[in-house]
């Protein structure tokens, strides 16, 4: 009788063990499978970096390129230089210390939800639009990574990662221009949080609330939130009007050490050329000689 009870107990234990193993989650794709493809070669990934690394995307923005991955639960970024032959050269790579959340459920209200999920490459996958991201840089401690659909972003700020259901367009001062699904644009701080509605068009921000406007006729500093002019400096007319033809003027601006430096390349109708550089004190608007 005792033997029968023991035998029944063993059979129950074996049955439970088998049942438990059947519901275990599948193991993640082995990184060796991922890097059996041409990805390492194409994106100049060192074998030393492959431990614990899963690639999920390629990022580009205004000539900046990066390959993106999850390395042991952290965001891994490798900056790239385009070799212009279908391959890239590594400039540097780094890891963000904060935990990288690669599966996010967003409550849309009314019983609806949306899932933002990172798709990792298998060994035979090719990078296509499903793996495309945009990256907006300040530096390695301040940048935004957003999906190509531009409706969600991870904002990296001092080794913290903030998740925002928003679309970001431009880097300004120490913040960004972003949209929050109301067809309006906002000036946002370094954490991606909206500060005020923005109705401008590509001004040169010197901080999150002020910008510089310039042309061949004048330079001015304005409050971006209110539109109030803080100072305005009129410039003398540049170039010559020849036979009723105005000169062509190309301009650029740089801010350095509290000085606004505007360069004007002037071409007159007769082909004669001239370059003028105007330097203005950023606090007072006074023209200064350097």
The predicted-structure confidence for 2-32, as pLDDT tens digits, reads as follows 443 433 344 343 344 333 334 344 445 555 6
pLDDT at 103: 92
pLDDT at 155: 96
- Least confident among 87-96, 118-127, 207-216: 118-127
Q: Percent helix, strand and coil across the chain, each rounded to 5?
A: 10, 50, 40
pLDDT at 30: 56
Q: Per-residue pLDDT tens for 239-263?
A: 999 999 999 999 999 998 899 999 9
Average pLDDT over residues 122-136: 83
Q: Per-residue pLDDT tens for 29-63?
A: 555 667 777 788 899 999 999 999 999 999 988 88
Going by their DSSP bridges, the two strands 248-256 and 194-197 should be labelled as unpaired
pLDDT at 106: 83
119 and 130 in contact (C-beta within 8 Å)? yes
pLDDT at 34: 72
Helices (H), 159-265: none
pLDDT at 151: 82
- Which residues lie closer than 8 Å to 43 by C-beta, 6 or more apart? 58, 67, 78, 80, 87, 88, 90
Mean of all residue pLDDT scores within the chain:
86
CA angle 188, 109, 149 (to 5 degrees): 50
Average pLDDT over residues 225-249: 95
Q: DSSP assignment, residue 289?
A: -
pLDDT at 29: 52
Average pLDDT over residues 118-141: 86
């Amino acid at each position: 009788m005792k033997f029968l009870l023991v035998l029944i107990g063993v059979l129950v234990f074996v049955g439970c063990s088998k049942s438990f193993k059947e519901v275990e989650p599948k193991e993640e794709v082995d990184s060796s499978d991922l890097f059996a493809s041409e990805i390492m070669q194409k994106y100049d990934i060192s074998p030393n970096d492959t431990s614990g690394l899963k690639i999920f995307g390629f990022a580009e923005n205004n000539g900046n390129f990066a390959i993106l991955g999850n390395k042991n639960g952290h965001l891994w970024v490798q900056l790239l230089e385009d070799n212009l032959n279908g391959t890239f050269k590594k400039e540097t790579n780094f890891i963000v210390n904060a935990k990288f959340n690669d599966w996010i459920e967003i409550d849309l209200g009314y019983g609806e939800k949306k899932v933002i999920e990172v798709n990792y490459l298998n060994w035979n996958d090719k990078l296509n639009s499903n793996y495309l991201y945009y990256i907006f840089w300040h530096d390695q401690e301040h940048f935004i990574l957003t999906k190509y659909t531009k409706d969600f972003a991870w904002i990296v700020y001092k080794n913290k990662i903030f998740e925002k259901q928003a679309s970001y367009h431009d880097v300004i001062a120490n913040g960004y221009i972003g949209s929050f699904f109301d067809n309006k644009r906002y000036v946002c701080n370094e954490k991606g949080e909206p500060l005020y509605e923005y109705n401008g068009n590509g001004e040169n921000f010197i901080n999150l609330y002020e910008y510089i406007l310039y042309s061949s006729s004048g330079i001015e500093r304005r409050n971006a939130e209110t539109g109030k002019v803080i100072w305005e400096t009129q410039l003398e007319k540049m170039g010559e009007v020849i036979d009723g033809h105005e000169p062509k003027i190309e301009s650029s601006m740089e801010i350095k050490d509290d000085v606004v430096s505007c360069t004007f390349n002037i071409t007159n109708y007769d082909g004669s050329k001239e370059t003028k550089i105007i330097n203005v004190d950023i606090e007072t608007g006074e023209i200064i000689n350097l």
